[in-house]
Amino acid sequence: MKKSHRNIERMSKFQLGALDNNMLDYDFNKLKEFLNIKGRVIFDKNFRLHKEDNALLFVLCCYFIQDQNSSAIIGLDINKGLLISGPVGCGKTSLMKLMPYLASHKIKYETIPTRNIVNNFNAAGFEVLKKYKDTKDYCFDDLGLEPTGCHNTRDCNVMGEILLSRYDLFKAKKVKTHITTNLNTEELEARYGSQFISRLGEMFNLVSFKDDSVDKRK
Ligand SMILES: Nc1ncnc2c1ncn2[C@@H]1O[C@H](COP(=O)(O)OP(=O)(O)OP(=O)(O)O)[C@@H](O)[C@H]1O
Ligand SMILES: [Mg+2]
Question: What ligand 1 atom has the least distance to the C-alpha of 209?
Answer: 21
pLDDT for 23: 46
By alpha-carbon position, which residue is closest to atom 31 of ligand 1? 43
Domains in the chain (CATH in brackets) are 6-208 (3.40.50.300)
The upper half-sphere exposure of residue 14, i.e. CA atoms within 13 Å in the direction of its Cβ, equals 24
By alpha-carbon position, which residue is closest to atom 13 of ligand 1? 217
pLDDT for 103: 85
Relative to the alpha carbon of 56, which ligand is closest? Answer: 1
| C-alpha–C-alpha distance, residues 205 and 99, integer Å | 15
pLDDT tens track, the chain, 218 positions: 456 666 666 666 666 655 554 545 457 888 999 999 999 999 999 999 999 999 999 999 999 999 888 888 889 999 999 999 999 999 999 999 999 999 878 899 999 999 999 999 999 999 999 999 999 999 999 999 999 999 999 999 999 999 999 999 999 999 999 999 999 999 999 999 999 999 999 999 999 999 999 999 98
By alpha-carbon position, which residue is closest to atom 1 of ligand 1? 49
pLDDT for 26: 54
By alpha-carbon position, which residue is closest to atom 15 of ligand 1? 91
| C-alpha–C-alpha distance, residues 74 and 76, integer Å | 6
How many whole angstroms from 48 Cα to the centroid of ligand 1?
A: 11
- Of 202, 167, 196, the C-alpha closest to 183 is 196
pLDDT for 17: 56
How many whole angstroms from 211 Cα to the centroid of ligand 1?
A: 15
Instruction: Tell me the pTM.
Output: 0.92
